Amino acid sequence: MTASALPVPRLHIVTGKGGTGKTSVAAALALSLAGPGRRALLVEVEGRQGIAPLFGAASLGYEERHLAAGAGGGEVFGQSVDADEALLDYLALFYRLGSAGRVLQKFGAIDFATTIAPGLRDILLTGKLKEAVSRAESGRMAYDAVVLDAPPTGRIVKFLNVTVESGRLAKTGPIGKHSRSVARMLHSSLTNVHLVTTPAAMPVQETVDAYKELAAADLPVGRIVLNKVAGAKSGEVTEDELEAGLARAGISPEPALLAGLMAEYGSAREELRAVDAYRDRLEQLGRPVEELPLLPEGVDLSGLYQLARALGGEA
Amino acid sequence: MSTDLDVDALLGDAGKHVIACCGSGGVGKTTTAASLALRAAEVHGRRAVVLTIDPAKRLAQSLGMEALDNTPRPVAGVRDGSLDAMMLDMKRTFDEVVASHTSADRAAEIFANPFYQAVSSTFSGTQEYMAMEKLGQLRATGRWDLIVLDTPPSRSALDFLDAPARLARLLDGRVIRLLSASTPGARRSMLSLMGASAAVFTRVFNKVLGGHLLTDVAEFTASLEDTFGGFRKRAEATFRALQDDQTSFLVVAAPEPAAVGEAVYFTRRLTEERMPLDGMILNRLTPVSADLSAERALGAAAQLEEADPEDPVAAVLRTHADLARRRAAEERVAARYAAACPEVPQRWLPSLGVEVVDLEDLRSFGAAAAGVHSELSAERRCPQAVENRTRPDGWPSGRESLSGPRMRGLPVRS
């Protein structure tokens, strides 16, 4: 990092409509960011335990844990951040409230905090992210990159901007101060919000909407990832050619089989044309659009490394 | 052991008044809810209403839900029965609750409270309370004999189920009484009852939240106490109503590990809470129309490519092999549900291939969900899509596409 350049983004927030594969993309991104000698932290905040199964690992907890070797020889750590734990952590950290924290819990104050002000959860979660990004250990940053498997596009701006809101609400006091410092980081060039979509109408529309919302909220958008793109097929085929071809290959060209294959091939070619149209639409947003292949058998650990290579390292 | 969900029996059951579609985001909850409501009206003559949370724009348009006035409006073009539709506006619902429970002056005061503004519009979680509130309101009118509910895209599908209980716990909680009591003019002082630990508590809260915020919160919660007593009662009544057999829960999933995992988890929770779960609908299976194994297709493709590497028929065969492998992988994922929840009837649906945007699409979807050929949708708006398929009703061919998961092996084997 040169002194004059803007800081390289170190907090990568991966969002997308449900079902677009944002968790897999977040995991692949963490692998790709863990180049030689580098450490990446992969974080989830919704308690879904979506990360662990991808790595064939046991459920993640509040403690950071080694998950896998990075695609470039570094290390990837994983963590599942829970708001209640984060609140106790926060109280202990900023107010040295060892026993008083437990008093709060006994009173139902933790419950209160996450119920009456569910936004407080998001304040705590984003605050925890900031802590991980800025933590230093023995003279160097604890993590070169922090990747968040974030809430879906429908809630992402609300989630990231909660600290702007709370900073406004709590004009004085440490929550206000803390909120404003988290908000500053999230709006800085340290942060990149990546949008994951599949080549389908609704996810692409949501991505375009989310991009506009993020831009309006001054949140820095990184890449747009067009995920689950089926492989390229080519050429016109008539039913007669297909019939002859099947016969050559020793497959009996029953009418139902011919019709079925023609239908599948027709849909697949139409999908390919649609992918081009969606890519054009996404490119108009002016951000880099990266394509990831559809893995026919689903995403397992080797699939994750394949996606990580496709995303390319930034090391 | 039942493996086939009878959607028509459910929709036609006059004793069912609420059908709640639950599942994680991106599995087609809204489409499922809207198509079931439409089918309930047209095929079973119900007076139905569908309450959606965040529908896609074009679907909202075709259901006439653009008005955004937070009130159900009739859907035009429904052939039989009646169907109303509405989109939940959470801020407006919250405002309505406040307005209906207090004087105009007090309501204006609450609306002006910055904390109220934040809770009612910005903070996540409010949507779940408001969906429950709206469901209660719709039930109370008696205007509909079937309410189909699309649950909010929560961080977890469980938030919806937990919302009323959390709300009740909150309003009964010591914290809120403490805060209410700490505003000027409170009748009783909880502080004296709670003694020293309460003093610690208020000190900490003041310190953490800052004095300003505490005052806002205290005023807000005091007004909750004054005006929202009925809110809790209704939320509890709605929760109890969800438990009786007038209600049906349908778990909606897609053949992806996370969505199926969430569906399994949700099924367990519903069972624990004694909520009536009637079935699982699995959307978005890759449609496979040709009956040929992936292995055979790949072998044939390789054979053709030996003679001509550019043979277009090989591309056709490879396309099929890809689809067949995807489908087989999806079915393996989906089978986890059947293994974990063997007693829940299921319905597997291949993806329609086009975005579901109008009543005709919803009819096709509903017919497929019910497992019948869509006699209602003789013509489709999208002729190309029909040409690409093997059956005239726009659905991929094959017994396998609509039958229960256990009735066969992998459908792609020849």
Do residues B26 and A197 lie in contact, with contact meaning Cβ atoms separated by under 8 Å?
no
Q: What angle do CA A268, B35, A228 make, to 5 degrees?
A: 30
Q: How many residues does chain A have?
A: 315
Helix, strand, coil shares of chain B, percent, nearest 5, are: 55, 10, 35
The tally of domains found in chain B comes to 1
User: Which chain A residue is nearest to residue B203, measuring alpha carbons?
Assistant: A100
Alpha helices in A2-50, H assignment, sequence order: 22-33
Domains and CATH numbers, chain A: 11-231+279-311 (3.40.50.300)
CB atoms within 10 A of CB B406: 14
Helix, strand, coil shares of chain A, percent, nearest 5, are: 50, 15, 30
**B187: which residues sit within 8 A by CB, 6+ positions away?**
none
**A240: which residues sit within 8 A by CB, 6+ positions away?**
none
Burial environment of residue A137 by CB neighbours within 10 A (0 to 12, 13 to 18, 19 or more): exposed
B25/A265 CB distance under 8 A: no
The per-residue pLDDT for A114 is 56
- Which domain, by its residues, includes B41? 7-174+231-288+337-377
Does a structural domain hold residue B251?
Answer: yes
Q: How far apart are CA B236 and CA A302, in angstroms?
A: 48
The shortest C-alpha distance from A3 to chain B (Å) reads 37
Q: What is the pLDDT along chain A (315 residues), one digit of tens a residue?
A: 444 456 789 999 999 998 899 999 999 999 999 999 999 999 999 888 889 999 999 999 999 999 999 988 899 999 999 877 877 777 666 565 555 555 556 555 555 555 555 567 788 888 889 989 999 988 889 999 999 999 989 889 988 988 887 777 766 666 678 888 899 999 999 999 999 999 988 899 999 999 999 999 999 999 999 999 987 666 889 999 999 999 999 999 999 999 999 999 999 998 889 999 999 999 999 999 999 999 988 898 999 999 999 998 443
Percentage of the residues of chain B whose pLDDT score is greater than 90: 38
Do residues A35 and A73 lie in contact, with contact meaning Cβ atoms separated by under 8 Å?
yes
CB atoms within 10 A of CB B165: 13
Please state the φ and ψ torsions of residue B401, each to the nearest 5 degrees: -65, -25
Torsion angle, CA of B294/B298/B304/B308, rounded to 10 degrees?
A: 130
Does a structural domain hold residue B402?
Answer: no
Does a structural domain hold residue B253?
Answer: yes
Tokens (6 digits) for B21: 């579609």
Q: B69: domain CATH number? A: 3.40.50.300
Q: How far apart are CA B30 and CA B53, in angstroms?
A: 8
The 3-class SS string of B266-327 reads: HHHHHHHCCCCEEEEEEEEECCCCCCCCHHHHHHHHHHHHHHCCCCHHHHHHHHHHHHHHHH
Do residues B73 and B171 lie in contact, with contact meaning Cβ atoms separated by under 8 Å?
no
Q: How far apart are CA B401 and CA B414, in angstroms?
A: 15
Largest pairwise CA distance in chain A = 80
Q: Which of B137, B141, B21, B25 is nearest to B89 (CA)?
A: B137
The per-residue pLDDT for A161 is 87
Does a structural domain hold residue B247?
Answer: yes
Tokens (6 digits) for A227: 């995920």
Q: Which of B84, B47, B46 is nearest to B64 (CA)?
A: B84
Interface probe with A: pick from B388, B393, B401, most Cβ of A within 10 Å: B388
Q: Which amino acid is at A99?
A: S
Torsion angle, CA of B251/B257/B261/B263, rounded to 10 degrees?
A: 0
| Alpha carbon B3 to its chain's center | 22
Interface of A with B in 159-188 (CB under 8 A): 159, 162, 165, 168-176
A36 touches chain B (CB under 8 A): no
The per-residue pLDDT for A291 is 94
Residues of B in contact with A95 (CB under 8 A): 204, 207-208
- Collapse the DSSP code of A297 into the 3-class scheme (helix H, G, I; strand E, B; otherwise coil) and give the result: coil
- The shortest CB-CB distance from B322 to any of A19, A261, A296 is to A296
Q: How far apart are CA A217 and CA A158, in angstroms?
A: 10
Residues of A in contact with B53 (CB under 8 A): none
The 3-class SS string of B73-113 reads: EECCCCCCCEEEEEECCHHHHHHHHHHHCCCHHHHHHHHHC
Give the CA distances from residue A173 to residues A134, A179, A182, in Å, rounded to whole numbers and listed in that order.
22, 10, 15
The per-residue pLDDT for A294 is 92
Q: Which of A138, A159, A133, A137 is nearest to A41 (CA)?
A: A133
- The shortest CB-CB distance from A231 to any of B301, B307, B322 is to B322
The shortest C-alpha distance from A74 to chain B (Å) reads 27
The shortest C-alpha distance from B135 to chain A (Å) reads 20
- Collapse the DSSP code of B170 into the 3-class scheme (helix H, G, I; strand E, B; otherwise coil) and give the result: helix
Tokens (6 digits) for A241: 């050619």
The per-residue pLDDT for A13 is 98
- The shortest CB-CB distance from B210 to any of A122, A159, A175 is to A175
A248/B291 CB distance under 8 A: no
Does a structural domain hold residue B187?
Answer: no
**Regions of chain B short of the pLDDT cut 50:** 1-2, 182-196, 374-414
Q: Name the one residue in this structure whose structure tokens are 């979509």.
A: A197
B329/A296 CB distance under 8 A: yes
Strand blocks (E) in A230-314:
289-293
The per-residue pLDDT for B399 is 34
Q: Which of B401, B60, B346, B348 is nearest to B393 (CA)?
A: B401
The per-residue pLDDT for B175 is 55
- Collapse the DSSP code of B149 into the 3-class scheme (helix H, G, I; strand E, B; otherwise coil) and give the result: strand
The per-residue pLDDT for B348 is 94
**B68: which residues sit within 8 A by CB, 6+ positions away?**
B87, B89
Q: How far apart are CA A214 and CA A81, in angstroms?
A: 23
- Interface TM-score (ipTM) > 0.90: no
The per-residue pLDDT for B382 is 34
User: Which chain B residue is nearest to residue A23, measuring alpha carbons?
Assistant: B258
Does a structural domain hold residue B61?
Answer: yes
The per-residue pLDDT for B155 is 53
**B172: which residues sit within 8 A by CB, 6+ positions away?**
B232
Do residues B304 and B317 lie in contact, with contact meaning Cβ atoms separated by under 8 Å?
yes
Does a structural domain hold residue B28?
Answer: yes
**B6: which residues sit within 8 A by CB, 6+ positions away?**
B345, B371
A19/B256 CB distance under 8 A: yes
Q: Which amino acid is at B150?
A: D
